[in-house]
Structure 1
């Protein structure tokens, strides 16, 4: 009955039509069936309507709406609460929503609470299904795992500090967009994530062949600038003895290095800096701004000295903020992973029975990289991250919502206010101390106004 569809139009006629039919019966004395047939109504409905009119009772026709536990405003408050929890990365499971509904029913002192709610201390499946239908803004989604550091570090304070330094650098050196570069690395493996395929309907499980159960990681280093250009990429292979033959089928002019893990280290990043200088050619009259993460392999004495000697200005992003501030993360690596996965699937279809190795990845990247490094993708990524044009206002309130769990007063501002007001330690009450030091993390029902 959850998906019941009406098979007749009974009860859908407007009240004006019944008024006209009743007037024909009461004033002209016509037969009920004849009038009902003329107005395309049920003769029983016409009879009941006329009976109510003669008795002076309020004449209301049509089917009444299904009785709901909460009224429209209460349900809207619950829906807003669920959206707020999801925006701060603490979304509720369906079972939690049902328990929340029961708690809200007690909070609102709802009289018509089903008995099953009281027994189970949670709402039923029928209520949850219809609640989701009545609130199309809500949907059951699979969340992406996000570390607490990343969720809480992107806040207005860190953003303001970064853009102050960024604007100072732009004003000092008068960088043009062609001289603003972003460099970062990403990992690719020999095992692709299967894409959706066309298969038989109703089959319980559909499989897709991958190269192995666990893949081998190869790091890919890319640098792009604000006008949509990019220099040849660099591969970091998990091989101690690297040979140039590894990248013979890779993108034009790409280079490669090797180490034991395949991850980027200080030694490999220095090699990329030489590669970057060779292609970008910074000079004293035309320096370059290089935006990068503050990873230990990027920020060290050797890298800083090499950049300084070659007129490269380094500016790092705040920790755990690159997912919103770094153009490569914002608009390039997502499409790149998608194109690489498609290319790997095509490779598996073209080489049945063969296992993909790390030496096949350069050729796959050669096919996928030009599609991802589309100039419009890069330019829009710089724009969306606020790097170029320089604009920190591109971020909305929803972007800062995850940092809500560590929303606390700025200690520097508090210390300044204490000095200005000449407040001594002895004058600090427990209440004022709690206000200064407590972490305002709360997810409760205080915003739901009690009727």
Structure 2
């Protein structure tokens, strides 16, 4: 298959690499000629340059220690080769996890690496990413991204996949269920219009090319059931509506059953009718009394307690796929519907071109039926079961690459880049070693003799004292231990390895008589882990890593710091590497020259040792940073996991841990029945609360109306009382003889009276 044409820059880089290879071969041959002893004919520089088709002047400059133009240009790069390799690995790992980077993201990561080395450095620039992609075009390239739902990316994990195929093997394969009795059912929506993008030809210079067609987005659902022997059952088409019109069923080329629902999707009632009136009658005679297996997703509309009880009574076993994993485990989604979507679009385009209008409900069965007959062939149906490992059974059909996206949300944190083996070993030790409150307290008692509690340690029974022998000294067996000047001390050395003492020869018959933990003075791995836990517990930012307290964002702010990118100090001199490429034969050296050269080699060897030692120390510090950051990531992921899973839903109860389930198990049916009853009870309680709320609202409105009437009557009574008092005072009546002012009743008394009336009314009823 032809690929995209290479750019001129890529071609120029390829030519330069070929030329560099020829030049290096010429340099190597010339140096080999120069070390020949005297008296042996040596080839000259120009013949060698001619044989390798390189410039003799350039060759002469390089053999004298010069730098090639390619090496000079490489030294001016923003990032070193090692830094670019790290970035390439990060890009590949991110893409595997369905978190790909775009141009801007790559530039930001490159700038972060550059600024970590030099805070005052200028960014790489926008054009750098293009050159970077050209240099590593054999490993990375640009793609058009396709959306992957986050729930699906997280759900397809190794644990769920392994559990699913273990269940299939135990429940289906080991029981000898025949392929002709294994079925898969699913539904899919088909909008009767072409919503896809098609590459067409148009006028040069136009920014966009429109394509006329229907924009009808009303969904029509089709329920399809296929068998592992390559056959398919009668279809079920679900239109959106209250009733079915006769014209919708014309030209039914696929012989589908027709029904309708309010939203155009399946529900519990339609699913029960389908299993009772379609699936069971069409498969009963074929099964001839044998067990039938039905695989379907865990959508609640596909199964009810009534459906599962009917299946159990009629020897039909139903298995539900792990939630959000059907895009990889369900054959209909992987093969059949994927092919059907493409053929469906082609049939829509052909219909619109011929009839000059879009596909409506009365045309749907004819157009969709033609596409169905082309897509659901026996070969495609059998491929659906083969591609998902059901028949023939293949539990390894899901590749690790497909499960990579789930790593991003794993509660056990992993870096996006592969770390060194010592770092990974220490991380594994931290995961498997559980710190206790006593073990992280600085004043806790010292370790007592007894079996080691370090992960994977094997306790041995004590042997007679006469068999005891001192432990052999050597590299620490603790996972992740580094042999460097910083971790070698006198405690690690045995009695025979102290300075000035010759080493004791190791005997192949020597055995450790006691468990290392039985010697309190011996620094065993578990004791080292405990000491490390005490050290972390006594720090302000690291205490959260070894305690069981819930981590917060404030704790993580203390832990997450800017990365420290150390380099070998400039005070340590760089070795003179040109001494490795001497062009003078040894036979031509005089004794003083050899002594001088040996002194120079010894001096530069000491410089190299100093730099290697410093680099080892830097590596140890960087590995420690990675370990601490990984521990923080684990705590942070656990907190996020708790935050993202606040409550247990019905699906989580039926599919615990996001794994597949044998739905016709009597316990599952009982659980489903109880869940449906609880749901119905909650709906009834909700309806009762709604009625009570409405009654309370109506009662409150009546009370307000009565209160207004009482207030108006009171105002009228007060006005009449005032007029009467004025009349009596005018007639000469004394104040004490005046009538009392009318009192307005309290609002609370009206509420009590209303409650009494409602109770008496309910008693009468």
TM range (shorter): 0.7 to 0.9
What do residues 376-406 of structure 1 show as CA deviations (whole Å, max 9, x unaligned)? 3222222222222233222222222222133
User: Mapping of 1:186-201 within 5 angstroms?
Assistant: 186-192=188-194, 193-201=196-204
Task: Tell me the equivalent position of 1:57.
Answer: 64
What do residues 348-394 of structure 1 show as CA deviations (whole Å, max 9, x unaligned)? 11122x23212222112111112221233222222222222233222
1:387 partner SS: coil
1:127 aligns with 2:134: no
Q: Quote the Cα distance in structure 2 between the aligned partners of 1:445 and 1:231.
A: 61
1:292 aligns with 2:296: yes
- 8 A Cα contact 2:250 2:362, kept in partner: no
- 8 A Cα contact 2:186 2:332, kept in partner: yes
**Larger radius of gyration, structure 1 or 2?**
2
Task: Tell me the equivalent position of 2:206.
Answer: 203
| Pick aligned residue for 1:331 from 315, 328, 335 | 335
Task: Tell me the equivalent position of 1:104.
Answer: 113
- 8 A Cα contact 2:253 2:365, kept in partner: yes
- 8 A Cα contact 2:297 2:320, kept in partner: yes
Q: Quote the Cα distance in structure 1 between the aligned partners of 2:295 and 2:97.
A: 28
| Pick aligned residue for 2:411 from 385, 408, 421 | 408
Q: Quote the Cα distance in structure 2 between the aligned partners of 1:437 and 1:386.
A: 42
Q: What's the CA shift for 1:179?
A: 1.1
Q: Quote the Cα distance in structure 1 between the aligned partners of 2:547 and 2:393.
A: 39
1:367 partner SS: helix
1:345 aligns with 2:346: no
What do residues 163-209 of structure 1 show as CA deviations (whole Å, max 9, x unaligned)? 33322321564211121110000000022124222334442111112
Q: What's the CA shift for 1:435?
A: 10
| Pick aligned residue for 1:314 from 315, 318, 328 | 318
Task: Tell me the equivalent position of 1:149.
Answer: 151
- Greater CA drift, 259-268 or 133-142: 133-142
1:196 partner SS: coil
User: Mapping of 1:74-113 within 5 angstroms?
Assistant: 74-107=83-116, 109=117
Task: Tell me the equivalent position of 1:215.
Answer: 217
Q: Quote the Cα distance in structure 1 between the aligned partners of 2:381 and 2:58.
A: 70
Q: What's the CA shift for 1:224?
A: 0.9
Q: Cα–Cα, structure 1 residues 41 and 437, in superposed 2: closer, same or farther, change >3 Å?
A: closer
Q: Quote the Cα distance in structure 1 between the aligned partners of 2:548 and 2:135.
A: 42
Q: Cα–Cα, structure 1 residues 288 and 64, in superposed 2: closer, same or farther, change >3 Å?
A: same
1:285 partner SS: coil
- 8 A Cα contact 1:70 1:110, kept in partner: no
What do residues 308-350 of structure 1 show as CA deviations (whole Å, max 9, x unaligned)? 2332111111111111111111111111101101111111111
- Greater CA drift, 87-96 or 275-284: 275-284
Q: Quote the Cα distance in structure 2 between the aligned partners of 1:104 and 1:187.
A: 47
> When the two structures are aligned, how many residues end up with a matched partner?
409
- 8 A Cα contact 1:247 1:362, kept in partner: yes
Q: What's the CA shift for 1:259?
A: 1.2
- 8 A Cα contact 2:437 2:547, kept in partner: no
- 8 A Cα contact 2:189 2:220, kept in partner: yes
Structure 2: stretches of 5+ with no match in the other structure: 1-6, 31-45, 413-432, 442-543, 553-559, 566-618, 624-765
- Greater CA drift, 88-97 or 259-268: 88-97
1:281 aligns with 2:284: yes
- 8 A Cα contact 1:325 1:387, kept in partner: no
Q: Quote the Cα distance in structure 2 between the aligned partners of 1:48 and 1:328.
A: 64
Q: What's the CA shift for 1:142?
A: 3.1
Q: What's the CA shift for 1:284?
A: 6.5
Q: Quote the Cα distance in structure 1 between the aligned partners of 2:281 and 2:304.
A: 21
Higher relative contact order (CA 8 A, sep 6+): 1
2:154 partner SS: helix
1:340 partner SS: helix
Q: Quote the Cα distance in structure 2 between the aligned partners of 1:423 and 1:207.
A: 65
Q: Cα–Cα, structure 1 residues 376 and 80, in superposed 2: closer, same or farther, change >3 Å?
A: farther
Q: Quote the Cα distance in structure 1 between the aligned partners of 2:170 and 2:561.
A: 42
Q: Cα–Cα, structure 1 residues 60 and 66, in superposed 2: closer, same or farther, change >3 Å?
A: closer
Q: Quote the Cα distance in structure 1 between the aligned partners of 2:548 and 2:352.
A: 61
Task: Tell me the equivalent position of 1:230.
Answer: 232
- 8 A Cα contact 1:240 1:259, kept in partner: yes
Q: Quote the Cα distance in structure 2 between the aligned partners of 1:75 and 1:179.
A: 55
Q: Cα–Cα, structure 1 residues 165 and 64, in superposed 2: closer, same or farther, change >3 Å?
A: closer
Q: Quote the Cα distance in structure 2 between the aligned partners of 1:58 and 1:228.
A: 72
Q: Quote the Cα distance in structure 2 between the aligned partners of 1:260 and 1:185.
A: 16
Task: Tell me the equivalent position of 1:302.
Answer: 306
Q: Cα–Cα, structure 1 residues 436 and 84, in superposed 2: closer, same or farther, change >3 Å?
A: farther
Q: Quote the Cα distance in structure 2 between the aligned partners of 1:170 and 1:128.
A: 52
- Greater CA drift, 81-90 or 323-332: 81-90
Task: Tell me the equivalent position of 1:418.
Answer: none
Structure 1: stretches of 5+ with no match in the other structure: 21-31, 118-122, 410-420
Q: Cα–Cα, structure 1 residues 445 and 315, in superposed 2: closer, same or farther, change >3 Å?
A: farther
1:400 partner SS: helix
- 8 A Cα contact 2:224 2:233, kept in partner: yes
Q: Quote the Cα distance in structure 2 between the aligned partners of 1:285 and 1:428.
A: 64
TM-score by length of 2: 0.47
- 8 A Cα contact 1:244 1:256, kept in partner: no
Task: Tell me the equivalent position of 1:69.
Answer: 78
Q: Cα–Cα, structure 1 residues 323 and 437, in superposed 2: closer, same or farther, change >3 Å?
A: farther
Q: Cα–Cα, structure 1 residues 49 and 306, in superposed 2: closer, same or farther, change >3 Å?
A: closer
- 8 A Cα contact 1:218 1:237, kept in partner: yes
Q: Cα–Cα, structure 1 residues 427 and 184, in superposed 2: closer, same or farther, change >3 Å?
A: farther
Q: Which structure carries more helix by proportion?
A: 2
Q: Cα–Cα, structure 1 residues 426 and 236, in superposed 2: closer, same or farther, change >3 Å?
A: farther
